[in-house]
Structure 1
């Protein structure tokens, strides 16, 4: 179980691997991050370790630094930190340019590259003029989900949007998105779906009426790239491919497969334009250590 993997355990494992002090380590949150960065690390100098969550990434890097290990950096999702005005200064730990890495993938030409593989152009063109229009449509839906997640984050309502374990059951997005038109059915349907989500084991200290009022009063002038969660985007893309836009037999497509395909398709042309890339290269220059191969 990933919940049993502590930061101290991961840090000690890294020390054991690097007895000869010849390796640097890139600490990431999860499997998609590992798939993505594995393309870009210089493997003769750097290994990747999954810490299973942003708090563990921070704790692992701090644990190593406290013990005098200077060859580790961490990468975590920005989440709502920019929107909430949080100043992040936790040592050699760098944030994604946008809410998460997946939004970085989606915001590049990788979006059309991945969808092209599913032969979607004809069906997509019948509803939207272009990939850009389709992406904008999905962004509008994910923004609505993001508003609810931001309200939950700011008010500590303890609403869960995903399972506690990787193989757990996820929210059914078709409960608030029409599978034929991919139209958003509304905030009420979204809230009802989330509140009825079977993973809500802890008591939620908020009701539907309050959440609707919170959404109504929320300042919507928010940067969508920092508001929207890429995992929601991947769920919608998987739903669209299964039910709406693909000409192939796409019934078995899941969001995890889509996330992996985006992570693999996003190449160095796009990565080199990001602030994240610049920060890692800056760290390399300042320390004389090597992480990236590009």
Structure 2
């Protein structure tokens, strides 16, 4: 199956394809990235290839450019935790603006369009009068989860953040996060943890004070799950009842427009790189 292909396997395919194609190869992590960037790519001059992992994207770009001398291969990956560590990608590898692609859409007008579609107007107004803008609320509640993931990786704790019960630590009326309950949920979801909850909550608080930008830590999966709680419990209209993470994420990608993409650092940097090398890449209206 294609998801088991190595970076070298994919590079060999690209090298064979070069015999008949002289355009740009845009290498992305997965199918959702392909769907999103496919909306903006130059259909004639750019071919998008799925690498099936971040490591594969990096490996393909490195192999094609450094070892095979192909100057028409560009890669895009999510930075995940790299920006918290103070690291950034170097062309021809590029990072999305936020921690991942979903957060890039949430930061844009795409979220406003999705909220217009799925919110009850009066319920939304009451929420925002009391709590504040929905975008601020969901990011403020999701970034501690992403920051806790950073702590886990930096300290080698191997905590599990899969299949968390968000209702345990998210207040449905305010979308506020209970840090103690969140840490307890992650610990209960993990195995062989030698660090106590109180110490981890204290560490999380210390890291939060040092964090200079919430968007570096907030993860799309968590933010969408929190938004779902709000739509289902507090400010959603009747058509929000059947939403799940996949459909809401898809709605955000569909709403992410040419104009939204044009405002991103990712577009600016990749377009400048392509123009300097006379490469085809994007085709925005």
TM-score, with structure 1 as normaliser: 0.86
CA contact (8 A) 1:138 1:233 kept: yes
Match of 2:159? 159
RMSD: 2.4
Match of 1:187? 179
Match of 2:72? 71
Match of 1:196? 188
Match of 2:82? 81
CA contact (8 A) 1:158 1:205 kept: no
1:36-77 residue CA offsets vs partner (Å, 9 max, x unmatched): 101100111111122223222101111222222222101111
Note the C-alpha offset of 1:174. Answer: 1.3
Match of 2:42? 42
Match of 1:104? 104
Shift of the 252–17 alpha-carbon distance from structure 1 to 2, 3 Å rule, reads farther
Distance 2:275 2:132 in 1: 37
Does the alignment pair 1:285 with 2:275? yes
CA contact (8 A) 1:146 1:227 kept: yes
Shift of the 39–186 alpha-carbon distance from structure 1 to 2, 3 Å rule, reads same
Does the alignment pair 1:171 with 2:164? yes
Aligned residues: 282
Distance 1:208 1:272 in 2: 43
Counterpart of 1:244 (choices 212, 228, 234) is 234
TM-score, with structure 2 as normaliser: 0.88
Note the C-alpha offset of 1:190. Answer: 0.6
CA contact (8 A) 2:7 2:60 kept: yes
Distance 1:182 1:51 in 2: 39
Does the alignment pair 1:258 with 2:258? no
Match of 1:229? 219
Q: Which runs of 5+ in 2 are unaligned?
A: none
Q: Which runs of 5+ in 1 are unaligned?
A: 163-169
1:208-260 residue CA offsets vs partner (Å, 9 max, x unmatched): 23312311332524211212112211121223223332221433311121112
Note the C-alpha offset of 1:131. Answer: 10
Match of 2:197? 208
Distance 1:112 1:130 in 2: 19
CA contact (8 A) 2:147 2:208 kept: no
Bigger share in helix: 2
